[in-house]
Amino acid sequence: MIDHDIVERVLSSATRTGAEFAELYAEDKRSTSASLDDGRIEQVNTGRDRGVGIRVIAGDTTGYAYTADLSEPGLLAAAEAAAAAARGGGGGARIVSLTGDGRPTRPPVGRVPDEISKAAKVELLQRIDEAARSVGPEIVQVAAGYGDSRKRVLVANTDGLLAGDEQVRVLLRVSAVADGDTGMQTGFQSMGHTTGWEIFDTVDVTALAREASRQAITKLSARPAPSGTLPVVIEHGSGGVLFHEACGHGLEADLVAKGASVYAGQSGQLVASPLVTLVDDGTMPGEWGTLGIDDEGHSTQRNVLIQDGVLTDYMYDHIRSRREGRAPSGNGRRQSYQHLPMVRMTNTFVLDGTDDPADIVAATDHGVYVAKLGGGSVNTATGDFVFGMTEAYLIENGRITSPLRDGNLTGNGPQVLRDIDMLGNDFAMGGPGTCGKDGQGVPVGDGQPTLRVAALTVGGTAA
């Protein structure tokens, strides 16, 4: 995207007034989106966004400037603005010698989505609409959305790093509304992968649509969820978001350093059931949070955060790891070139246990079976969280019985980790997610095997 000689001159300019570190992040992103609602294609959009962000650090002060002007004068102006914001001093110039070739690290992609016709993407949504409606006359409305993106990234800094990446993503969402005697209910399914259009050779999108409709129709006969503290069984793949929110954010090193994490100072301590091993892995082939490099140019990797219940490590960005004298973990991420990087998760998940999922249900006399968790929030300083249940069932005498209306799960992240008393052998990743932090959103994945939490507070309306 930018000539390497220009990159060197820009970084040299950024450190001319004595700053200790400068970084250039460039991206060029092309995207397509299409939506269908009530049988009609609402919109088909294409776009392109490119620009550069320059970060300069002098002491404890960080200056950041970004521009869509990729000419050398435009980049130099951004570098000077970032350096001024950092209030660097001392004079002199620093010569930067870059290593690496900056070539993209994109994994093989069979069919790049932005080279597929808009007509093919519209036809995909129409098939989804037909499949969702075919499940039953109860389905009165279907909405579907498609999106793809291809983003090229170049990162360089005054440590001599020069790295590139190309990230290709495909996303599909479908929701179905069913109408019955008890009112309207909604079902929702999604899929998202870092891959090309060939994903539709292996993923049955009509099955995805039918599953959304089945979920909506099933909820028409749902009874009120119970209220109180109960054992909760969470189906594989559907509860990874709980671990992302309830403990993942608390293991991000910037929050730990600020004292905003309940896990601060607990490295080497038992923080979870010995059944639990929690991993963050940005290298998983095809998953939504997968990257060749993070947004500071460092290779993503597999980071074991909790091993057999013991907290073994935190996640780090470049600056935090630099200050603590350790290697970065590949967790520096940003929403776009307009944003500063910060510590973020990639694909976060709990590893398999040894229990048969059927045995987990059979061992639960009375409780709740969560087939799909909804959104939630967490206080990272205390670990307290609230999550919605978008598809759940009652467990009675070791059997899954009546569907339940939407309700909430409330609890405390560290306590939930300690209360996991059964862990299945059926690991699965869940759907694509967007992680929000400090006003930025980035794509993430999560997953887990079927598991049981011995006690969680269920916020239903049944007596």
Do 312 and 271 belong to one domain?
Answer: yes
Per-residue pLDDT, averaged over 32-43, amounts to 95
- For residue 181, which amino acid is it? D
Q: What are the E-state strand segments in 290-406?
A: 302-307, 310-311, 332-333, 342-343, 347-350, 366-378, 384-396, 399-404
Per-residue pLDDT, averaged over 368-382, amounts to 89
Alpha-carbon dihedral of residues 317, 319, 320, 323, nearest 10 degrees? 150
Largest CA distance in the chain: 77
Where residue 104 falls among pLDDT bands split at 50, 70, 90? low
Q: What's residue 354's pLDDT?
A: 98
What distance in Å separates the CA atoms of residue 329 and residue 279, rounded to the nearest whole number? 12
pLDDT in tens, 421-450: 999 999 999 999 999 999 999 999 999 999
Where residue 323 falls among pLDDT bands split at 50, 70, 90? confident
% of the chain exceeding 90 in pLDDT = 84
Is the confidence at residue 201, as pLDDT, over 80? yes
DSSP structure class, residue 416 = H
Do 200 and 264 belong to one domain?
Answer: no
Q: Which domain holds residue 297?
A: 227-459
Per-residue pLDDT, averaged over 193-202, amounts to 95
Q: What's residue 92's pLDDT?
A: 37
* Reported pTM: 0.93
Do 307 and 420 belong to one domain?
Answer: yes
Is the confidence at residue 97, as pLDDT, over 50? no
Do 207 and 293 belong to one domain?
Answer: no
Where residue 100 falls among pLDDT bands split at 50, 70, 90? low
* Domain C-terminal end among 197, 221, 245: 221
Is the confidence at residue 380, as pLDDT, over 90? no
* Domain C-terminal end among 191, 221, 251: 221
Asked whether 450 and 236 are in contact (CB, 8 A), the reply is yes
Q: What's residue 107's pLDDT?
A: 60
pLDDT in tens, 349-366: 999 999 999 999 999 999
Residue 20 sits in a domain of what CATH number? 3.30.2290.10
- Where does residue 102 fall: left (phi above 0), alpha (psi -120 to 50 degrees), or beta otherwise? left
Q: Which residue, among 240, 262, 435, 450, has the nearest Cα to 348 in the 3D structure?
A: 240
Q: What's residue 392's pLDDT?
A: 96
Is the confidence at residue 196, as pLDDT, over 90? yes
Give the chain's domain count.
2
Alpha-carbon distances, residue 363 vs 353, 366, 370, 425 (angstroms): 16, 9, 16, 16
Per-residue pLDDT, averaged over 81-97, amounts to 60
| Close Cβ partners of 116 (under 8 Å, ≥ 6 residues apart) | 197
What distance in Å separates the CA atoms of residue 453 and residue 249, rounded to the nearest whole number? 20
Q: What's residue 91's pLDDT?
A: 37
What distance in Å separates the CA atoms of residue 292 and residue 351, rounded to the nearest whole number? 22
Do 145 and 234 belong to one domain?
Answer: no
Per-residue pLDDT, averaged over 309-334, amounts to 94
Per-residue pLDDT, averaged over 334-339, amounts to 96
Where residue 90 falls among pLDDT bands split at 50, 70, 90? very low
pLDDT in tens, 240-275: 888 888 889 999 999 999 999 999 999 999 999 999
For residue 146, what are the β-bridge partners? Answer: 34, 172
Do 28 and 88 belong to one domain?
Answer: yes
* Domain C-terminal end among 171, 203, 221: 221
Q: What's residue 375's pLDDT?
A: 80
Output helix, strand, coil percentages for the chain, rounded to the nearest 5: 20, 40, 35
Is the confidence at residue 461, as pLDDT, over 70? no
Per-residue pLDDT, averaged over 164-179, amounts to 97
Asked whether 322 and 329 are in contact (CB, 8 A), the reply is no
% of the chain exceeding 70 in pLDDT = 94
Do 196 and 237 belong to one domain?
Answer: no
Do 234 and 217 belong to one domain?
Answer: no
What is the residue whose two structure tokens read 């598991």?
451
Where residue 182 falls among pLDDT bands split at 50, 70, 90? confident
Do 162 and 248 belong to one domain?
Answer: no
Is the confidence at residue 53, as pLDDT, over 70? yes
Helices (H) and strands (E) in the chain, counts: 9, 22
Mean pLDDT of the chain: 92
What distance in Å separates the CA atoms of residue 261 and residue 264, rounded to the nearest whole number? 6
Per-residue pLDDT, averaged over 189-216, amounts to 96
Is the confidence at residue 383, as pLDDT, over 70? yes
